[in-house]
Structure 1
Amino acid sequence: MSIAIRDVLSREEMAALCRKSDLRGAWAILQVWLCIAATFALLAAYPTPLTFLLAVFILGGQQLACAVLTHEAAHYTLFKTRWMNEVVTDWLVARPIWTDVKRYRQHHMGHHAHTGTEDDPDMSLVRPFPGSRASLRRKLLRDLSGRSGLRRVIGLIGMDLGILKYTVAADVERLPQEGRTWRDYLRASLRNMGPVLIANGVLAAVLAALGALWVYSAWVVAYLTTFSLYVRIRSIAEHACTEGGPEVLNNTRTTHANWLARLTVAPFRVNYHVEHHLMASVPYYRLKDLHDKLRARGLVQPQPGYRHVLELASAG
């Protein structure tokens, strides 16, 4: 089914849905860091294996929240002010999870332009599905064991050095290296990895000043494990096991998110993905309003939950 959003919503409705707010963007980032701080404080106060596992469970979700806010800024919807999308978001949520707004935006716009087609740069994330239950189980275990995270780190190093083409998908493309010298690799690493090291160094320094540097290890473990798991489940839910093709209603899925999903795989209403692809200029906090309007006009149906989506992905 093909729809044009201008045939569904009035100009006034679209203008209201697309209103952006610097205050709402700042509050979103503050929410993430308050949750991270509270998690670190809990772990420092009660340093047990159970609280460490709980911290890793929560921090992976907050790292995904950072990724989702980076995604918002890539669309210039997190803040009304452009430089806040470019600079504030980059330093406060993108760099701490080893990404950056500019390169992510360049990659992600290709995804929106070619969603569901072979030209989609993210197609490798959904191409393996549906697969068998055993295959999905192996993927999820690789995530939780840290193998996927270590592979991602190696890839990030290659991308930051300019050896690999930047991507957030599973495809690996080597770049030509003829004529490059050690100075070229040094400049690339400083440009790309320098801010990541600064952001994480500041985080570690704050914890050290509070006498709790060791809790930074939970941030690292979460990045290698639960963050990988939540990213995979999110990407499966958004586009895997759909009809494909160029039409949004056929190649994208909105998924119901309960409180646990919102804490882990669906922060900041990222589960409203059909709505996002139909109107990428709508900030995350208005996506439910857009969803409700589309539901009222019979254009979208009740959403399946994440458990149902994983069953679809493992039904091959």
Structure 2
Amino acid sequence: MSAAKDLLTPGQLAIVRQRSDIRGTWAVVHAWGVIFGAMAVFVAFPNPLTYILAVMVIGARQLGLAILMHDGAHGILTHNPKLNAFLSQWLCAYPMMAETGTYRRYHLKHHANTQQPEDPDLILSAPFPITRKSFRRKMIRDLTGQTGYQQRKAQILNAIGKADWPLEQRLRHFWSKLGRATVAQLAIFTVLAAAGHWYLYFVLWLVPFLTWQQAITRIRNIAEHAMVPDDNDPFRHARTTKANLIERALIAPYWVNYHVEHHLMMWVPCYNLPLARRFLIANGHGPRMETKENYVEVIRMATSRPDTDDKPGSVVHNARRQRVSGTMGEGFAESQDAA
């Protein structure tokens, strides 16, 4: 893999590696502001259109919280380590039923073995291309909450522990797995209840979490590594997908689409990735970088297998096939299934 000093000048490196307490904190505040703002718009103008838009906007910001947790797992969300840990855990990971430390251990294996047999995320990219019928089935399961339900069910059952364990042991096990995440869920419910709209927790927090967030997480998984041209080239074993304003709002928040740049320099904060890309292109590396023009192009490529080859099987969710840690730490990228 190319060393960073071979890609950027010392001055450029100094700029892109800068971590900002203000920018990292603002990104988290922005995510929550958009979530509660979308809820407020629906309350002010309750109709099917504002509800659907709110589900999409909130689901995208929920993915955004997972992305910011990801930066926290790399230790790059903010400059201050304690602030980085607090924001990542309590305002990003736990609300998403995740845990930063567990995710970090899993995710660093992905970086060390990208697109290799040891890559724990290989299961997300290996099945492609698939048929359009298969993709449609997956999206229907995501958007109707079936995928999210199966994942959360497996997560909660794991946290509860075995039926023959003593109650005290099961309580300790649940707390270690999902206790803090449960506190975060109760906090969200309490805030909404205090505002006089407790029902929003169910219709505009859980519904986006189990539906739209699942669907766009799948799309993100596909875009990042499915059908990359060279599993052994760091410029081509990941993919950057250009995103317009609507895609950034509803599919790819907080610069998650800059994935080649992240794999080349995983210590660059997400808010510096666009600048890192500009520097790389200015230094002549643009032609080497695997890039798609938009997410439509990515999906078209990933569903290029003829429908005549379609062989639907039983729904086998990733949450069932892989070991469930009891948190979402085994990836905020866990929405793939087989059929």
Runs of 4 or more, structure 1, over 6 Å off, are none
Matched residue, 1:268: 254
| Cα distance in 1, alignment partners of residues 234 and 168 from structure 2 | 45
1:122–1:185: structure 2 CA closer, same or farther, 3 Å change rule?
A: farther
Note if contact 1:86-1:102 (Cα within 8 Å) is conserved in structure 2: no
The yes-or-no answer on 1:278 pairing with 2:278 is no
1:208 maps to a residue whose letter is A
| Cα distance in 1, alignment partners of residues 168 and 126 from structure 2 | 38
1:295 to 281, 296, 301: 281
Matched residue, 1:110: 109
Note if contact 1:117-1:244 (Cα within 8 Å) is conserved in structure 2: no
1:124 maps to a residue whose letter is I
The yes-or-no answer on 1:256 pairing with 2:242 is yes
Matched residue, 2:89: 90
How far does the alpha carbon of each residue in 1:25-72 deviate from its partner, in whole angstroms, 9 at most, with x for none? 111111011111111111222232332222111110010000000001
Matched residue, 2:74: 75
1:12 maps to a residue whose letter is G
Matched residue, 2:337: none
| Cα distance in 1, alignment partners of residues 122 and 194 from structure 2 | 44
The yes-or-no answer on 1:224 pairing with 2:210 is yes
Give the Å deviation of 1:10. 2.3
Note if contact 1:111-1:122 (Cα within 8 Å) is conserved in structure 2: yes
Structure 2-normalised TM-score?
0.84
1:198 maps to a residue whose letter is V
The yes-or-no answer on 1:49 pairing with 2:38 is no
How far does the alpha carbon of each residue in 1:138-184 deviate from its partner, in whole angstroms, 9 at most, with x for none? 11111111111111112322454578xxxxxxxxxxxxx9x965544
| Cα distance in 1, alignment partners of residues 107 and 251 from structure 2 | 19
Matched residue, 1:241: 227
Structure 1-normalised TM-score?
0.90
Task: Point out where structure 2 has 5 or more consecutive residues left out of the alignment.
Answer: 306-339
Q: CA RMSD in A?
A: 1.9
1:151–1:137: structure 2 CA closer, same or farther, 3 Å change rule?
A: same
Matched residue, 2:196: 211
1:202 maps to a residue whose letter is A
| Cα distance in 2, alignment partners of residues 255 and 75 from structure 1 | 22
| Cα distance in 2, alignment partners of residues 84 and 162 from structure 1 | 32
| Cα distance in 1, alignment partners of residues 126 and 160 from structure 2 | 28
| Cα distance in 1, alignment partners of residues 285 and 156 from structure 2 | 43
Note if contact 1:44-1:215 (Cα within 8 Å) is conserved in structure 2: no
Give the Å deviation of 1:100. 1.4
| Cα distance in 2, alignment partners of residues 71 and 24 from structure 1 | 15
Matched residue, 1:185: 170
Matched residue, 2:299: 310
| Cα distance in 1, alignment partners of residues 219 and 38 from structure 2 | 23
Give the Å deviation of 1:246. 3.2
- Percent identity of equivalent pairs: 37
Give the Å deviation of 1:5. 2.5
